[in-house]
Amino acid sequence: MDDITLDPILQIASGFMAAKFLFVANEFGVFDAIKDNPTDLAGLAARAGLAERSARILADGCVALGLLHKQGGIYTNSPHADRFLTGGGLSAGLRFWDVLSYPAWAHFAATLAHGPSQQAVELPPEVQQIMLAGIESMLAGPTQVLAATVDLGCRHRLLDLGCGTGSWSTALLRANQQLTATLVDLPIAIGATEKHVAGTGLADRVTVRGADIRSDPIPTGHDVVMINNVIHYFSPEDNRGLLARVSDVVSPGALLIAADFWTDPTHTQPVPAALMAGEFAAHIAEGDVYSVDEITSWLEVTGWEVDRHQSLAGPQSAVLARRA
């Protein structure tokens, strides 16, 4: 009997429906509404501020997707929803995907043909805040793994290039009391950086600078440099140039950390990393995913010796190298 069916294709084709159920349930606070107090349809509708018909469509779709459970007419969160979709969790990340990514993907064909209609750095400040908060939310897992597994006990001055909100650095500062950090990002982004740092109680160990890391001078005097989720913004030529410029301002033995959506040589695994190439193309003129082999070759020709490639969480991993 022929076991080739339409199911895999239909699952992919309808993926946008599943995503919207998740995004809208997050928007209406469904998961928080029933976290500690499961309820029936009428109760859920009241808590979400929806008519019962709308609440039923939304809740039952989430049941079908495994995000909610329903027994005897009572809705509860699934274990995964309870852990990751309540109390903040991935909420900011889901809002970013819904508000920024989803509309951009609707024009994916035009993006591939003509480039992004609006680059990430051109977004209005209020949308920039949604983007940066969303990225921080989605990368919270990899951030914590990096802080817990990379030994910086002998390091004292951290330079974070393209720091975003600064969450990677503040996680490392909490884990390494001897560290101080210089955080650098575009002037349009450092307002979010300063706000995040102020909320951590670590401001006395942090300096924030607004600069373009491709053209402005790289700050000196650091023994560990981090360029997390930066390489995918630039072309291979710009990446080699950035790595060379960093190499020029650090001493032998300095550590470089580069976390990103690194792929295998075919650019097809891990699957979420391969798909992120489309996300980058939608928001960044030269955005792309790169393989571990590619960054390794760039490091080797710019004065670095690769130490290791380390998995973090989900499709994120880190390449660590030392200044030769």
Q: Which domains does the chain have, with CATH numbers?
A: 7-84 (1.10.10.10), 120-323 (3.40.50.150)
**The two three-digit tokens of residue 162, written as one number:** 């393209």
Question: What tens digit of pLDDT does each residue of 223-239 get?
Answer: 999 999 999 999 999 99
The pTM of this model reads 0.92
Helix residue ranges per DSSP H, the chain: 7-13, 15-27, 30-33, 41-48, 52-64, 79-84, 91-96, 102-105, 108-114, 125-138, 140-149, 167-175, 190-198, 236-248, 271-283, 292-300
pLDDT above 70: residue 1: no
State what percent of residues in the chain have pLDDT above 70: 100
Q: With beta carbons less than 8 A apart as the criterion, state whether 279 and 252 touch.
A: no
Residue 240 pLDDT class (50, 70, 90 cuts): very high
Q: With beta carbons less than 8 A apart as the criterion, state whether 181 and 169 touch.
A: yes
Question: What tens digit of pLDDT does each residue of 2-37 get?
Answer: 789 999 999 999 999 999 999 999 999 999 999 999
Residue 141, phi then psi, degrees to nearest 5: -65, -55
Q: With beta carbons less than 8 A apart as the criterion, state whether 119 and 282 touch.
A: no
Residue 258, phi then psi, degrees to nearest 5: -135, 100
What is the rounded average pLDDT of the residues 92-102? 94
Residue in this structure with the two tokens 């294709």, named with its chain if needed: 9
pLDDT above 80: residue 121: no
pLDDT at 89: 86
Question: What tens digit of pLDDT does each residue of 283-293 get?
Answer: 998 989 999 99
Of 210, 228, 203, 196, the C-alpha closest to 92 is 196
Strands 180-185 and 157-161 come out as: parallel
Q: Rounded to an integer, what distance in angstroms lies between the CA atom of residue 278 and that of residue 285?
A: 11
Q: Rounded to an integer, what distance in angstroms lies between the CA atom of residue 4 and that of residue 284?
A: 38
Determine the 3-state secondary structure of 220 from DSSP: coil
Task: Write the CA distances from 311 to 181, 259, 261, integer angstroms.
Answer: 24, 9, 10
What is the rounded average pLDDT of the residues 262-282? 96
Q: With beta carbons less than 8 A apart as the criterion, state whether 262 and 292 touch.
A: yes
Rounded to the nearest integer, the mean pLDDT of the chain is: 95
